[in-house]
Structure 1
Amino acid sequence: MIRPLLILCVLALGACTSPPDPRLLLPGAQPMTGGVTVARSVEIREISLPYYAEGEEVAILGENGTVEILDSLLWADLPPRALTLRLAETLARALPQTAVAAEPWPLLSRAELSVNVQVSRILGAPGGVLDFEGQYFIVAEDRGSYERARAFDLSLPVTSVGAGGIASAQARAIEELATLITTDLAGVTTRDLGRR
């Protein structure tokens, strides 16, 4: 008697659950043209995002200029982690002779340079434009003396009307940011890194 009742309860409970929310992925990383730097290793610190962009809910720019949170669509990974890993992967492709990784630093020797990105705005409307603004900082670790602080202000078209267009625009924004960082890394000298 207890067994059929237990089965009935499990079936009733299963009927009450809702299907999982759909999850949005960033599209795959694109190949990058080879850059050059004397740095042997670069650590990417976790990207700092505005509050509205930190959570798993997708945020878009509403028609009246406000931030709208789409509760019905979630990111497949938390945006700070996903964007940090994408930046590290993109820089690793652009700088094939340099070890590039996101924090926590996975290698035995410390990274020669660290990159810290602080985003003040990452917001767009499907079918409109994605604004990607903030600053990045490149600092030599250990004995080095290199410091660089740069502002960035990028606007990218959101080519499709759905939320997938926002994901594609964010991926392209990270690629453009990687190009800016690669240009700065090309100017680093061995002296900047404390090498003789």
Structure 2
Amino acid sequence: MNYAPLALAALLAACSASPARYTVPEVEVAGPRVPSIYGTVALREVALPAYAASEEIHFRGPDGALASAPDVLWADDPTRAITGDLARALGRITGATVAAEPWPFFDRPAATVEIRVSDMLAEADGRFRLTGQYFVAPETGRRTRSGSFALEAPIAAPGGPAPIAAARGQAVRDLATLIARDGLR
């Protein structure tokens, strides 16, 4: 008996049982450049709430409870991914050299940015919500800055993991724009 078709069927069954993983698509940085007063910026690892730091994609149900599906996951560690996405977006928006910590260069950065996210999830009404605070600490001579953010991005119909991932990308880009405009100028 030829076992190749059985092996292939078993392999396909195993693949279909594995969770689906979703990446966040690259979001264009639109609009004019927002120059930074800092030529170099270190971005600390973004602090996420426990549910947002997990692999599972969370959403708020109509009853207000947070839920997730264990078979639908982010493709990358959310903390690492959001930190990297923000560093790239801040660099594109400001023209500064921006890198996530640990700082990879010999010279110290001119400023360090810290972000603490308090809420990051898909809402039942079709919006992706990103809220929290940011802090800008200059190395020397300039005043520190901080601010709160409450950003929303629409989740394209009919919803689901891929549109949630796209909305997350938009919200993170909008956060980078806000920090560039209000914290790094």
TM-score normalised by L of structure 1: 0.81
Separation in 1, partners of 2:109, 2:63: 45
**Is the 1:58–1:70 Cα contact (8 Å) retained in structure 2?**
yes
Tell me if 1:58 matches 2:52. Answer: no
- The match for 1:31 among 29, 36, 52 is 29
- The match for 1:178 among 151, 176, 179 is 176
Tell me if 1:18 matches 2:14. Answer: yes
TM-score normalised by L of structure 2: 0.86
For residue 78 of structure 1, report the CA deviation from its aligned partner. Answer: 0.7
**Is the 1:118–1:136 Cα contact (8 Å) retained in structure 2?**
yes
Aligned residue type for 1:94: I
Structure 2 unaligned blocks of 5 or more: none
Counterpart position of 1:71: 70
Tell me if 1:156 matches 2:148. Answer: no
Aligned CA-pair RMSD: 2.1
Separation in 2, partners of 1:128, 1:37: 34
For residue 157 of structure 1, report the CA deviation from its aligned partner. Answer: 1.4
For residue 165 of structure 1, report the CA deviation from its aligned partner. Answer: 1.4
Separation in 2, partners of 1:26, 1:144: 37
Separation in 2, partners of 1:18, 1:126: 32
For residue 125 of structure 1, report the CA deviation from its aligned partner. Answer: 3.5
- The match for 2:120 among 122, 125, 128 is 122
For residue 175 of structure 1, report the CA deviation from its aligned partner. Answer: 1.0
**1:150 partner SS:** strand
Query: Which protein is bigger by CA-based radius of gyration?
Result: 1
**Is the 2:62–2:124 Cα contact (8 Å) retained in structure 1?**
no
For residue 31 of structure 1, report the CA deviation from its aligned partner. Answer: 2.9
Deviations 1:90-111 (A, max 9, x none): 1111122x11111111111111
Separation in 2, partners of 1:46, 1:156: 23
Structure 1 unaligned blocks of 5 or more: 1-7, 188-196
Aligned residues: 175
**1:18 partner SS:** helix
For residue 151 of structure 1, report the CA deviation from its aligned partner. Answer: 0.7
Separation in 1, partners of 2:10, 2:160: 30
Aligned residue type for 1:82: A
Aligned residue type for 2:82: L
Aligned residue type for 1:78: D
Aligned residue type for 2:126: G
